[in-house]
Amino acid sequence: MGITTSELKQLNCDMVYRMIYENNGITKQMIAKELRFSLPTISQNLGYLLEQDKIHCSSHRAATGGRPAQLYKFNYNSRITISVELLANMLNVAAVNLAGEIIAESSLDLVFTNDPLYFETFSSWVNHFIDSLSCRPEQILGITIAIQGVVDADQEHISFGTLLSSSTFVRTDFAQHFQYPVSLIHDAEAAGIAESWHSAPDMNAIYLSLNANLGCAVIVNGQIMRSRHLSSGVMEHLTLYPNGIPCYCGKCGCAESYCSANTLIRKSGLSLPLFFQKVRDKNIKYLPIWQRYLQDLALMIDDVRMVIGGDVIIGGLLTPYLTDEDLDSIKDSVYSLTTFKNADFTISKGKYGKKATLIGTALTRITDYLKEERLVD
């Protein structure tokens, strides 16, 4: 059975749309030449895409003068994803466009409680944020919530949510309050997605989220690795020191108890800004705390790399405080610990820092949309 006229028109439009997406800032003539379409066909499809607000047009005058050319550009704000980072004592929300850029954000101090009042307060605040964007309803792809807990494969349930003191709440507790699709994702996994976006197809890396609590994600061949039970990236509960410091998970000696930002706050009794001020001043009371922290982080990295290999990307709350000297110190310590001295790797700070979770949370929906629109394979 051959292709219908309607299907052919849609295919032509898809090709024009993708050409604009891949060559952001292109003229009608350039599109016609590349696709070998007639100018009337190109004009008809450009008119439709402009009407749908999927592209926009601007004038550009060449350096040689002459009549300004009309440049057609992809409208990255044509669709928006709402990302929510749900923490034990606060909420962060962001509107993220199709380029993975945060175009608006807000925060609210709100202690998590698994009861109707919390979910009503949560939804009211997020809906108010959405209203402030002045977007058309069809522009919103949906809402994705990053949780400090392991999310089941069906994205309906939390299978491990000790940090939130609950594993009993479900996606519908949130979804019933919104007119948009709602999904859940593990916060460290979301951050790992952000840091692996547009990466090389063969990228292998460990992402460490050095937030108040430690989070990890494993990237294999450019994709987040997940086991059947979705716990393969939960490296924060590797045992660093048997019978060591108790962890919130119930075990003792977990990496979480030695490598989270809370560890530094607990040991120093100071806020992070004040602690690092003391460290950079080489205060003899606080510098050893930081040096021991870096050694424990190196021990964890060495353990993980023995299984996974690859480079190391560090993100989260501690990112702004890490210096190149700190990164070199971690790498030197890993080399001193590792059995295989010829296994070269890099340790670097993530591209998105503290924003990685919010951006990665949105990218799951953004990627699905771009595929649906045939803009990416």
- What domains can be seen in the chain, in order of their start residue? 5-74 (1.10.10.10), 80-191+356-372 (3.30.420.40), 200-352 (3.30.420.40)
Give the 3-state secondary structure of residue 344: coil
Measure the CA–CA gap between 348 and 132, rounded to whole angstroms.
36
At residue 69, the pLDDT reads 78
Q: Which amino acid is present at 259? A: C
Q: What are the residues whose beta carbons fall under 8 Å from the beta carbon of 119, sequence distance 6 or more?
A: 173, 174, 177
Q: Which amino acid is present at 108? A: L
At residue 377, the pLDDT reads 84
At residue 1, the pLDDT reads 55
DSSP character at residue 64: T
Which residue stretches of the chain have pLDDT < 50?
231-232
pLDDT tens across 268-317, in order?
999 999 999 999 999 999 999 999 999 999 999 998 888 888 899 999 99
Cβ–Cβ < 8 Å for 242, 253:
yes
pLDDT tens across 104-114, in order?
999 999 998 88
Look at the alpha carbons of 121, 126, 132, 137 in this order and tell me if their dihedral is positive or negative. negative
Cβ–Cβ < 8 Å for 209, 316:
yes
**The tokens of 372 are what?**
């649906």
Q: Which of 86, 127, 115, 83 is nearest to 101 (CA)?
A: 83
Residue matched to tokens 């009407």: 51
Measure the CA–CA gap between 205 and 186, rounded to whole angstroms.
18
